[in-house]
Structure 1
């Protein structure tokens, strides 16, 4: 069954449109707040919180609504029916990655220059939520790829690194992962011991990592290491 296409999407700024959506009246509440909502009684020093109503719009916007609807259709048609088998086989669904890439959801926060959708983190959260409805394990891999790897490169990489790594990660040709945890440094990230030693114009990694989501299948890794063991968190790169 052909899967839905996410593109072309409206411009990214449409996601913050505040137009009233009559199809989702439950998304609106009325809250009225006065200029001085907390009034102090001078005699007993007690306060009375005075509330009235002001209209607030909690709609997500046309772009994110479209993203959510298309992902719901894709998940129902292609992911949910395979979820149990994916878990039983304990194998990474590489073909699913290509399909997610074609839909444009592997690079939601990445700029269009590198093949991404150029949207914000709210859109990423909605995508994560919808994929999770179909398969928790695929959603975990999706988060490790699109957030821990792709978004890190998008936010912190230099132009050369972005041009080299992002297009194939966004398309689904490559799988991404982040290597942070170590045998003796899980949630205590500052205690990591992996060193990055400068050798000419390169760094040589000396140490080990473990518990890497997508690790066995990834093509691109974002690896955290210490360039200075004495500087604790400030020595991590």
Structure 2
């Protein structure tokens, strides 16, 4: 079993690490305070191809494997999570649906501009009464001639204020429940599309989340993504596809926190000696390092399984659950090690602590991941019984 990464991925890792360390991280506090990523950072991100990670080379992207994307996301996780979320949401749930389910014409129209970052992608599923229960969405799409008329609203849509391309789920046949939901590619300049309130959030500053509204919005029938009635299944596949990438971002953030905590433990003097010499601090650091190492192995195993086209529904759910829980535990220990300094906004530990909390909620809550895992265990049990 060889855990060595290909040389081209190692080179790419070094490039992104240098970019993060020298061009993003020095601006992290500015981004946090202004709640805005500077244009210079976004332009450099475009030059590095960071908006085309998931998009095939034939459409202008880099077309990385899941393994490759996890390498990049791990490095991006080592800086302000709001910036990383813009990149991650675009490459993940914002564009994967078109890559996986789009027609040749749809790919040719949207992917080249998404690959360069000229058009940002977003994913619109959640509604006021449909969060974890995604099948309960109320947004409707009624076929009229060669168009669908969409009415409804979505909430908590990452990238909504600046996205141009939205993967939107709407009900085309209310009588069929989840099988009556269809995916659409929606452009922000379609008449009847409107961005609503931009949320003020606990964390992820620099990444913006907003409501969007559809008011008799006309969508051409050629913008149906996949087949009519398969939107719910598509949504689940799109969300599952991104779980390894999200966990890789959590991994990078955990590594950052461990590095900061280890350095602080050696520098902070209490009772006449560095606090690292206190056994409890050593235990905190050891526990952080152990969980990080386990998470790293899990991330790259699931990434490899994904690239081998293996069924990773259970493993991806486990990884998203574990990655988000580890991030929160590591962030909590980092605050405790830093003491009062960890609670001060001028120091990055406090920011990572707040940013960690959303990872247990967005793109599928921890509770939903447990439901998915249990359902897959049940299926495996039933198959075992049938084969016995």
Please report the TM-score for the alignment, with normalisation by the length of structure 1.
0.72
Q: Specify the alignment match of 1:133 in structure 2.
A: 78
Q: Specify the alignment match of 2:58 in structure 1.
A: 113
Equivalenced residue count is: 182
- In the alignment, the residues of structure 1 paired with residue 136 and residue 37 of structure 2 have an alpha-carbon distance, to the nearest angstrom, of 31
What aligned pairs does 1:197-236 form with structure 2 within 5 A after superposition?
Answer: 197-236=142-181
From the superposition, tell whether residues 235 and 96 of structure 1 become closer, same or farther in structure 2 (CA, over 3 Å). Answer: farther
Q: Specify the alignment match of 1:7 in structure 2.
A: none
The alignment status of 1:190 with 2:135, answered yes or no, reads yes
- In the alignment, the residues of structure 1 paired with residue 40 and residue 139 of structure 2 have an alpha-carbon distance, to the nearest angstrom, of 33
Note if contact 1:99-1:172 (Cα within 8 Å) is conserved in structure 2.
no
1:166 to 108, 111, 121: 111
Displacement of 1:94: 4.2
Q: Specify the alignment match of 1:96 in structure 2.
A: 41
- In the alignment, the residues of structure 1 paired with residue 145 and residue 68 of structure 2 have an alpha-carbon distance, to the nearest angstrom, of 41
- In the alignment, the residues of structure 2 paired with residue 58 and residue 160 of structure 1 have an alpha-carbon distance, to the nearest angstrom, of 39
Cα RMSD, aligned residues only: 1.4
Note if contact 1:178-1:213 (Cα within 8 Å) is conserved in structure 2.
yes
**Greater mean alpha carbon deviation, residues 91-100 or residues 161-170:** 91-100
**Greater mean alpha carbon deviation, residues 83-92 or residues 202-211:** 83-92
Note if contact 1:185-1:191 (Cα within 8 Å) is conserved in structure 2.
yes
Note if contact 1:110-1:118 (Cα within 8 Å) is conserved in structure 2.
yes
Note if contact 1:75-1:131 (Cα within 8 Å) is conserved in structure 2.
yes
Displacement of 1:120: 0.9
Displacement of 1:201: 1.4
From the superposition, tell whether residues 118 and 205 of structure 1 become closer, same or farther in structure 2 (CA, over 3 Å). Answer: same
- Higher-Rg structure is 1
Q: Specify the alignment match of 1:181 in structure 2.
A: 126
Gaps of 5+ in 2: 183-388
User: What is the DSSP-based 3-state SS (H/G/I as helix, E as strand, rest coil) of the residue aligned with 1:209?
Assistant: strand
What aligned pairs does 1:45-60 form with structure 2 within 5 A after superposition?
Answer: 56-60=1-5
Note if contact 2:126-2:154 (Cα within 8 Å) is conserved in structure 1.
yes
Displacement of 1:161: 1.2
* Greater helix content: 2
**Greater mean alpha carbon deviation, residues 225-234 or residues 189-198:** 225-234
From the superposition, tell whether residues 94 and 157 of structure 1 become closer, same or farther in structure 2 (CA, over 3 Å). Answer: farther
- List per-residue Cα deviations over 1:164-206 (Å, max 9, x = no partner): 1111111111221111110111121111111111121121111
- In the alignment, the residues of structure 2 paired with residue 92 and residue 77 of structure 1 have an alpha-carbon distance, to the nearest angstrom, of 15
User: What is the DSSP-based 3-state SS (H/G/I as helix, E as strand, rest coil) of the residue aligned with 1:101?
Assistant: helix
Gaps of 5+ in 1: 1-55
- In the alignment, the residues of structure 2 paired with residue 89 and residue 169 of structure 1 have an alpha-carbon distance, to the nearest angstrom, of 26
- In the alignment, the residues of structure 2 paired with residue 166 and residue 175 of structure 1 have an alpha-carbon distance, to the nearest angstrom, of 10
